[in-house]
Amino acid sequence: MTVGKIVEILDARIVTGGDSLDFEVGAACGADLMSDVMAFVKDRVVLLTGLVNPKSIRTADLLDIRVVVFVRGKTPSEDMVAMARDNGMVLLSTKYSMFLACGRLYEAGLRAGGVREIS
């Protein structure tokens, strides 16, 4: 699924990275605990989170996550936007809750294919 399609499905506002709308993602991960993201995320994942602080950008960059969606209408600070821009990331904001945003993406065909299970 392309970032442009995600913008459409989530009625999202593009905060930065509008030139990357053709970027393809293969899975989604919804989490507010960055330790959960680090434990489960694999490749080409869009991260949905309500955590609006630099830790979310640093974690996404560490895991090579190029697309972050902030849920519940949250907006990142200018410092976060600058960090994301420097790292070539796309930041989006949607009014939907985490539950609804993940559900809408799932309904549109995006799955957790980039996630590795731990036992």
> At CA 18, angle to CA 31 and CA 13, rounded to 5?
55
The whole-number average pLDDT for the span 76-102 is 97
What pLDDT was estimated at residue 71?
98
Is residue 89 scored above 90 in pLDDT? yes
pLDDT at 114 over 90: no
**Of 70, 69, 63, nearest in space to 37 by CA:** 63
Q: Residue 113 has what pLDDT?
A: 56
pLDDT tens-place string over residues 29-73? 999 989 888 887 678 899 999 999 999 999 999 999 999 999 999
Q: Residue 101 pLDDT > 80, yes or no?
A: yes
Q: What's residue 119's pLDDT?
A: 42
pLDDT of residue 117: 47
Q: What kind and span of H or E run contains 91?
A: strand 90-93
State residue 100's pLDDT score: 97
3-class DSSP state of 114: coil
Q: What is the pLDDT of residue 65?
A: 93
